Amino acid sequence: MARHGYPAEFRRKVLDLLADGRSVAIVAHDLDVSDQTIYNWRRQDRIDRGLQPGRSTAENAELAAAKKRIGELETELAISRHAMELLKEQTSPKGGTRPSK
């Protein structure tokens, strides 16, 4: 998955330079980007175009959003559980409330 350090337009222009026949090493040197970064972009582009197996950029974004939402829900659940425990501590078994200390 691409980091947000480079704009999508920049990555697209780099890939266009490679498609025009320029080598990764030359493009990397000219634009001051690491070779590995360009290889990663090229691999992800091939995946997105269905030329290579793997998770597409859209699938990666969907997975990241789902993981973020799961984290939020887990936090909400933990807060709810903690609140229930606090309420249990304040309520006597007969339905009354315990006096505060």
Range of the domain at 25: 1-54
Tell me, yes or no, if the pTM score tops 0.75. Answer: no
Same structural domain for residues 5 and 38? yes
Is residue 97 in a domain?
no
Is residue 98 in a domain?
no
Per-residue pLDDT reduced to its tens digit, 63-73: 999 999 999 99
The 3-class SS string of the chain reads CCCCCCCHHHHHHHHHHHHCCCCHHHHHHHHCCCHHHHHHHHHHHHHHCCCCCCCCHHHHHHHHHHHHHHHHHHHHHHHHHHHHHHHHHHECCCCCECCCC
Same structural domain for residues 49 and 61? no
Per-residue pLDDT reduced to its tens digit, 35-87: 999 999 999 999 999 999 999 999 999 999 999 999 999 999 999 999 999 99
User: How many domains are contained in the chain?
Assistant: 2
Lowest mean pLDDT among 7-11, 64-68, 86-90: 86-90
Same structural domain for residues 65 and 45? no
Question: How confident is the model at residue 6, as a pLDDT?
Answer: 94
Question: How confident is the model at residue 89, as a pLDDT?
Answer: 87
Is residue 99 in a domain?
no
